[in-house]
Structure 1
Amino acid sequence: MANQDTLHRRGLMFILSSPSGAGKTTIARRLLAQDTQIRLSVSVTTRPPRPGEVDARDYHFITEAEFRRMVDAGELLEWAEVFGHLYGTPKAHIKAGLKEGHDFLFDIDWQGTQQLYQRMEVDVVRVFLLPPSIAALEKRLRERGTDAAAVIDARMARAKAEISHWDGYDYVVVNDDLDRCFEAVHGVLKAERLRRARQTGLVDFVRTLMG
């Protein structure tokens, strides 16, 4: 007998954006760990790997020449330059996965979000995380201990610019408590999976109910 979990549906592109330090990476990792139906969209990038990062797991690390070739060939759904490095989303893998009902998590900024929405509107769910205050955001960045003061100042300037794009998202969550924030984000994901237009198996199922 069919149930809500076995009915075929089209996958979705679940975007999480936030200024640096607002908890996006933490929420994303928790979502991937606790929800087996979603997988991370692995971007291509021209930046060098950071300590602990693995090629094809965290990013596909490629040369700028290869990145430009992919752009020219139309192989990227979106791309942007961030702090002097290029980042983009490969198209073919995502489109095939959506058709099969797979969900993809995107950890991208507002520029990438805008491009994805323009190209894949009905498949995109946009969530923006806000810090409880600018002071709290700066405190988180400084407590990381991974960036020089000048880098933190640049990130704070960029953070304010990113926050100005909050109204380009479907959902906005203030991350003043990690557990509450996660539950809100996960709740959005679960609700979006139930959208009637996304559940492509519903028509046949309802026909069987009607005899």
Structure 2
Amino acid sequence: MDEQLLYGYDPLCGWCFAFRPTMAAIRQAYPDLSVELIMGGLVVGERVAPIAQARDYLIKGLEQVRRTAGVSAGAAFYNGLLKQGSYISNSEPPCRAVYVAQQLAPERAYDFADALPEAYYGRGLPLDDADVMAGLAREYGIDADAFLAAWQSEQAKHGTQHAFQQARLAGFNSYPTLVYQHSKQRALVAQGFARPADAVARIAALRTG
């Protein structure tokens, strides 16, 4: 059967951080379904700014994430990036890292991408730092030198912008968004947060419907 899941995702999206257990449950329930990452760029253009400008918004939003999903950002995020305030919030560098992972190690790209929200919100790591990103690539078995060379290339920057454009043309404008695709037919699984059991059941219904 020609089936896959299309996952609209952004590394800086707090609700994508909350959605990680849901995606883990889906992948465990349906190991035969491949997942294609769709990155439209949540924090780009005029939204790019020092994280201090979004401090109150993030504190409120992450509290809502905690209450709704039971997933909490770590002290390293609150006491590091958020408190210090100078980190430039920009989705392009980590999305470019995912793009590069897809080119260099497609079999590991999903796991690498899934780790980025945890690295950011859980571990408080800056996702625009070359040493940090090389270390994360190494954790997932991607050659760090090759990764850095590609991540810093103009080709990767252009490729990431093209991925953003294609995502928007395909209608992925909010995150997380999960779509089930069978042949050329698409059906929405979740737009925004969904609990693991609900998302698994929704996919089951779509596969048997």
Relative to total residues, which structure has the larger strand share, 1 or 2? 1
Q: Same fold (TM over 0.5)?
A: no
Give the structure with higher Rg (CA): 1
Report the TM-score when normalising by structure 1.
Answer: 0.32
Report the TM-score when normalising by structure 2.
Answer: 0.32
Relative to total residues, which structure has the larger helix share, 1 or 2? 2
